Chains A and B, each alone.
Chain A
Amino acid sequence: MALLDTIAHRETAKQHRPWPRAIVTEEGWRQAIDLLASGRCTLLGLWGDAPAVHMALLAETFDDIAVVSYTCKGGKYPSVAARHPPAIRLERAIRDLFGLEATDAPDTRGWLDLGFWSVRHPLGKRGNARKAAPYAFLPAEGEGLHQIPVGPVHAGIIEPGHFRFTANGEHVVRLEQRLGYVHKGIESLMAFASLGQAAKLAARTCGDSTVAYALAFAQAVEAALQINPPKRAVHLRALMAELERLANHFGDIGAICNDASFAMMHAQCGILRERCLRAADFCFGHRLMMDVIVPGGVLDDIAPKGAARLKDLLAELRGIFPQLIELYDNTASLQDRTVTTGILRAELARQYGAGGYVGRASGRGFDARRAPGYAPYRDLRFEVPVLDAGDVNARVWIRIREVEQSLSLIEQILHSLPAGALKTAVKGNGEICEGIGLAEAFRGEVMAWVRLDDDGGVARCHLRDASWFQWPLLEAAIEGNIVADFPLCNKSFNCSYSGHDL
């Protein structure tokens, strides 16, 4: 049974692909909320499009997606968060950006607008800028509690955000995040941008996942315009995506160990990461492979000797990485820090629809490459590792297993790389059309939703990072742990700030 069969709707949008979008009344909107609250669906996205709000739902089986759209009445819509907490921050963001209010919302504080922008409600009915005001952090009460404010400027070379810890001695009682510091107004810059410019913006939404973002955006555009990129391009895209995954996993496995003061793993993994980036540079002309993927295909082919270079890379990684896994697994002092630390319960991972290693280390086996799935992964063999422990150690192990899978995928792609064109021509089809793309970045799925105008320009684009649903889970996972273990927990999640703040 399709998702939309259980949701009352007046009509479906004619040009929305590959999954349907239904225009619903309040009845249908509330039915959709029921599906979320009862756990029969996962919230995939909730975003504004004044005067409407859209909500994307993912079926329990991960193979069906539907978008429902509700046109606000007097700038208001029934709150999703009131019955389904994962929507809280999304509703707060919608209010800041569009001025659309969720009726009966459980949290009405601002989220992205910290009071410094030049306008209020930049994507909706614009008003005078809001003034910065003290932020009311959630209370924590009890004897002997103290607060530790951290950020937005952190001690390491990382993105900015604020963490407010309430602790009793060393034990964290509550962590509350305050984000939005790197909000750049990407969705506003996207509106009325050319496809080329919009693809560049998408690629700079989150630098560590630039390939995945470019891919999700390209998928959404291609779905909207009903064009198929050439087979060779599809395979090259996957090749880049797996290289990006490898580089990030190596970097993070090392960094997690470094946060437990085990510098050797950090140094060794840093070498592997650098080797991946150098190979990427050799093959695709850019260490992070920025701007190679565009709607319609890829801009450049792999370098003539690229395949040989990647085969050498695989051989080297396969020689060294097993030794590092052994080192990780046999160092008791390291295991002491990662095992049973920062446990994320499976129910929460499921409720929040946690993607990536965060979900997969807590029993949720979602991987967009597998289901709903996209080319060329349907023709490739790979496993989606899932563990139940939900601790830092489990998140490290998921990454270790995913490294092994990516190595195999790269080998398969090189083996089956089809010849042929790199790009299909992309142009508007004379109608307004909409599309969704879902690409699996190293930290979880990236969702891109676009509406193109009749000449193929971007009218509206929404990008949703996996971090939206992972950040709140970090708050839950750290509870009861000691302050000194926060860096470990945080790095094991490695949520994106820029991808979230947009």
Chain B
Amino acid sequence: MRKTLLESFTHGPLTEPPPKPDKAGLAELAKAVDRAARARLGRSLSIREVDAGSCNGCELEIHALSNAFYDLERFGLRFVASPRHADVLMVTGPVTKNMREALLRTYNATPDPKWVIAVGACAVDGGIFAGSYAVEGGVKDVLPVDLTIRGCPPNPKALLAGLLALLEKTA
């Protein structure tokens, strides 16, 4: 078991890139499958939250998304414990120099396709902490960012609106 565990540190995610779809079959199936899948499974994204240096304010509001008022899971959105299970990384904070490597490793452990959301004023460009010897900058200075949700911290409604926009784009 130990060997298996150790190996998992060195190889990338096992999840493979998808094969190229069969064009002829695709056109035929697309409509039917799409309709059936949406109706039965809904749309869904698994989110891994990464605090890359935040003051914890953004985390509090991201937490609130799971309370009864916002009930994130009704939209097919859920938080997962491992980047290996994630489609989306929600990254908060100015990226500190001390967290840069951990953030990169988390990103690399997330299988494609994946999206990165920069959450909060600090995640945009380092915010109030920009320019410090201990801060790398915003999330975009370390990872490709697909969506930015502003605010200090963004309230749960703003967070939800951003996530729903991403759902529209990815679905």
Residues of A in contact with B (beta carbons under 8 Å apart): 114, 116-119, 122, 152-153, 155-160, 180-186, 188-189, 197, 200-201, 204-208, 210, 251, 267, 270-271, 273-274, 277, 281, 287-288, 290, 496-498
Interface assignment of B67: CB less than 8 Å from any CB of chain A:
yes
Main secondary structure of the interface of B (DSSP, over half): mixed
The 5 closest A-B pairs by CB, nearest first: A207-B57, A185-B132, A155-B81, A185-B134, A270-B67
Contact A157 B97 (CB under 8 A): no
Q: Bound state CA distance, A185 and B132, in angstroms? A: 6
Binding site of A, secondary structure by majority: helix, strand, loop or mixed?
loop
Contacts of B164 in A (CB 8 A): none
Q: How far is the CA of A290 from the CA of B60 in the complex (A)?
A: 13
9 contacts across the A-B interface (CB closer than 8 A)? A116-B97, A181-B98, A185-B132, A185-B133, A186-B132, A204-B128, A270-B66, A271-B67, A496-B56
Q: Which of B57, B128, B155 contacts A201 (CB 8 A)?
A: B128
Set B60, B69, B100, B131: member contacting A116, Cβ < 8 A: B100
Q: How far is the CB of A349 from chain B (nearest CB, A)?
A: 24
In the assembly, what is the distance between CA of A114 and CA of B133, in Å?
Answer: 13
Q: Contacts A185-B132, A201-B128, A270-B67 hold; do A114 and B57 have CB atoms under 8 A apart? A: no
CB of B56 within 8 A of CB of A498, answer yes
- Given known pairs A182-B99, A290-B152, the reply for A157 and B132 (CB within 8 Å) is no
**Contact of A181 with B60 in the complex, beta carbons under 8 Å:** no
How many inter-chain contacts with C-beta < 8 Å in the A-B complex?
A: 134
Q: How far is the CB of B53 from chain A (nearest CB, A)?
A: 5
Closest B-chain residue to A270, C-beta based?
A: B67
Q: For A267, list chain B residues within 8 Å (CB).
A: 67-68
Interface residues of B in 44-100 (CB under 8 A from A): 49-64, 66-69, 79, 81-83, 93-94, 96-100
**In the complex, which of the residues A153, A181, A186, A197 has the most CB atoms of chain B within 10 Å of its own CB atom?**
A153
Task: State the CA gap A158–B83 with chains docked (Å).
Answer: 15
Task: Knowing A270-B68, A274-B67, say if A182 contacts B54 (CB, 8 Å).
Answer: yes
A160 near B55 (CB under 8 angstroms)? no
- Please measure, in the bound complex, the distance between the C-alpha atom of A155 and the C-alpha atom of B69, giving whole angstroms: 23
| Nearest Cβ on chain A to B165's Cβ, whole angstroms | 20
Task: Give the distance in Å from the alpha carbon of A204 to the alpha carbon of B57 in the complex.
Answer: 8
Smallest Cβ-Cβ distance to B135: which chain A residue: A184
Partner of B96, one of A182, A188, A251, A277: A182
Is B98 within 8 A of A157, CB to CB? no
Cβ of B115 under 8 Å from chain A: no
Q: Quick check: A184 and B153 within 8 Å, CB to CB?
A: no
Min C-beta distance of A244 to chain B, whole Å: 11
Instruction: Find out whether the CB atom of B59 lies under 8 angstroms from the CB atom of A158.
Output: yes
CB contacts (< 8 Å) of B55 on chain A: these are 204-207, 210, 498
Alpha-carbon distance between A160 and B48 when the two chains are bound, in angstroms = 13
A122: chain B residues at CB < 8 Å are: 133-134
Cβ A155 vs Cβ B134 within 8 A: no
Contact A188 B132 (CB under 8 A): yes
A180 to B82, CA, bound (A): 22
Contacts A189-B132, A267-B68; is A497 near B56 (CB within 8 Å)? yes
B18 to chain A, nearest CB (A): 27
- Please state if B98 and A180 are interface contacts (CB–CB under 8 Å): yes
Do A116 and B68 touch (CB < 8 A)? no
In the bound complex, residues from chain B placing their C-beta under 8 Å from that of A206 are 55-56
Answer whether A287 and B155 are a contact pair too, CB < 8 Å, given A267-B68, A498-B55: yes
In the complex, which residues of chain A have a beta carbon less than 8 angstroms from the beta carbon of B69? 271, 274
The interface residues of chain B lying within 8 Å CB-to-CB of A181 are 53, 96, 98-99, 102
Specify the chain A residue showing the minimal Cβ separation from B122. A204
Q: Which chain A residues border B68 with CB–CB below 8 Å?
A: 267, 270-271, 274
Taking CB atoms, residues of chain B closer than 8 Å to A270 are 64, 66-68
- Whether B129 contacts A185 by the Cβ 8 Å rule is yes
In the complex formed, the residue of A with least CB distance to B49 is: A157
Q: Which of B59, B83, B101, B133 contacts A119 (CB 8 A)?
A: B133
Given contacts A157-B79, A184-B135, A207-B56, is CB(A152)–CB(B67) below 8 Å? Answer: no
